[in-house]
Amino acid sequence: MENAVFYTDTEQELLEVMEDIRKLLKKTITFNLKLWAIKQNSLQMMKQMAKDIHTFAKLRQEYADMLAKEKTDHWESFHDVECTKCKFFTSLRPTKEAVYNDGLTYHIYECPKCKTVFRDSLPNNIKDTMVFAKKQYDFFVKRDKRGRINYVTLGVPKEMVTSFSEMYTNLKVADDNVIAERIEKEASAKNFEAVIADELVRFKVFKAELLNGGPLAAEE
């Protein structure tokens, strides 16, 4: 079953005005080919406008539903995690989320084996994971007072250090794409709202003219 489509107040008003005009035009008798063409073009234009409004409203609703779903999906999804105490590896749903001392937000789990409550190894959102990856990379490539690189001193594989850099880069690209998409959709929505507002004014004038006997009845 198709989800309900919700219109803005302006869109709803325009649809109602166009429906009134459609009914008036159906009752209007045209006396020459020119007026008949105006009538048919008006009916076709309103039909297309109503279709465009419905399409845009549907896309707007789908985008809103997608954003809402993204906020709840991680609570419904199972995540592969390892208990920090007994090292039991399994798939769990998070029980909650919490901000830790590093200022980042993590999912919290409860081990089904030993009942230990522990956090995920990575933050649960793109922004925080970017911060995490950058902090890890910056720490490992930092040199101490003797000029020794941390990851070498600590015996951390260079590949692991590189993976943090790649993680940050990939997440940055993904985040930039999300932001760009949101900006594009917001701009498109504002442009469409402006068009609808202008069309509402124009069709209100057209409706008033029809009620006053014109413009189709103005010429014979």
As a whole number, mean pLDDT of residues 44-66 equals 92
- Average pLDDT over all residues of the chain: 90
* pLDDT category of residue 216 using cuts at 50, 70 and 90: low
Could you tell me the two tokens for 85?
Answer: 């105490």
- State the CB neighbour count (10 A cutoff) for residue 178: 12
User: Which helix (DSSP H) or strand (DSSP E) does residue 110 occupy?
Assistant: strand 105-110
| Helices of type H across the chain | 9-27, 33-76, 126-141, 150-153, 158-211
Residue 110 φ then ψ, to 5°: -120, 120
Q: What six digits make up the tokens of 39?
A: 């009538």
For residues 129-142, one letter each, b for 16 or more C-beta atoms within 10 angstroms of the residue's C-beta and e for the rest, the string is bbbbbbebbeebbe
Task: Calculate the CA dihedral of residues 190, 193, 195, 200 and round it to 10 degrees.
Answer: -160
Confidence of residue 218 (pLDDT cuts 50, 70, 90): very low
What distance in Å separates the CA atoms of residue 153 and residue 161, rounded to the nearest whole number?
Answer: 13
Task: Give the model confidence (pLDDT) of 134-146 as tens digits.
Answer: 999 999 999 988 8
In the chain, the amino acid numbered 22 is R
Backbone angles phi, psi at 78, to 5 degrees: -95, 140
pTM of the model: 0.68
